[in-house]
């Protein structure tokens, strides 16, 4: 059974993850590696798995948008960040305070087009969540707006296995 699981993950990673998705994931990883928490830990694997879960690594950059509702209320970009979340993280993070000078529309555009900025905000968000929540499942759930979201956590962990497989294959560093 374990062999079949490994074979499945190998097959998925070879055939389902495009070069464009790999490029997006690598950008997320590169940013995450530069942003350690206060203990020196970085979250490149976690953020890569979240990126796959949230936007299929940049394939779906507009999430939860409802007709008749402003685009600025949607989750945006590779990391599916809402404007309100980006503004909250910017207030908490000295290196991102410059985002306060952006209008909602300008910030939405940046989130949609700048994977590195999206990853930077997401990394800081994970670090903030890590410092306020004791359990990893609660940190990951918090990224999706909940305290304990087991279905979301399970999807992220499934994608974590895919990320690890891509690393073993040398497609991600």
Residues 156/53, Cβ–Cβ less than 8 Å: yes
Domain boundaries, the chain: 27-168
Rounded mean pLDDT, 41-51? 98
How far is CA 75 from its chain centroid?
A: 11
pLDDT tens per residue, range 66-84: 566 666 778 999 999 999 9
pTM for the whole structure: 0.88
- Of the candidates 21, 19, 16, 42, the one whose C-alpha atom is nearest the C-alpha of residue 30 is 42
DSSP 39-62: TS---HHHHHHHHHHHHTTTT--E
Distance separating alpha carbons of residues 56 and 155, to the nearest angstrom: 11
Identify the CATH assignment for 27-168 out of 2.40.70.10, 2.130.10.10, 1.10.530.10, 2.60.120.380: 1.10.530.10
Helix (H, G, I), strand (E, B) or coil at 64: coil
Residue 148: phi and psi, rounded to 5, are -145, 100
- Of the candidates 140, 97, 101, the one whose C-alpha atom is nearest the C-alpha of residue 121 is 97
| pLDDT for residue 8 is more than 80 | no
pLDDT tens per residue, range 96-121: 999 999 999 999 999 999 999 999 99
DSSP 115-138: HHHHHHHHHHHHHHHHHH-SSHHH
- Residue 31's Cβ-count burial label (10 Å; 0-12, 13-18, 19+) is buried
| pLDDT for residue 156 is more than 50 | yes
């Amino acid at each position: 059974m374990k062999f079949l699981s490994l074979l499945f993950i190998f097959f998925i990673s070879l055939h389902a993850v495009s070069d464009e998705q790999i490029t997006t994931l690598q950008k997320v990883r590169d940013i995450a590696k530069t942003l350690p928490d206060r203990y020196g830990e970085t979250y490149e694997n976690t953020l890569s798995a979240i990126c796959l879960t949230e936007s299929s690594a940049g394939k779906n950059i507009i999430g939860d948008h409802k007709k008749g509702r402003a685009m600025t209320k949607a989750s945006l970009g590779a990391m599916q960040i809402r404007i309100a979340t980006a503004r909250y993280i910017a207030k908490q993070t000295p290196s991102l305070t410059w985002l306060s000078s952006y209008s909602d529309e300008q910030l939405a555009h940046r989130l949609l087009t700048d994977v590195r900025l999206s990853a930077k905000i997401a990394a800081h968000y994970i670090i903030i969540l890590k410092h306020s929540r004791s359990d990893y499942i609660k940190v990951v759930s918090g990224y999706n707006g909940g305290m304990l979201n087991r279905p979301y956590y399970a999807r992220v962990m499934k994608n974590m296995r895919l990320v690890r497989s891509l690393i073993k294959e040398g497609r991600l560093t």
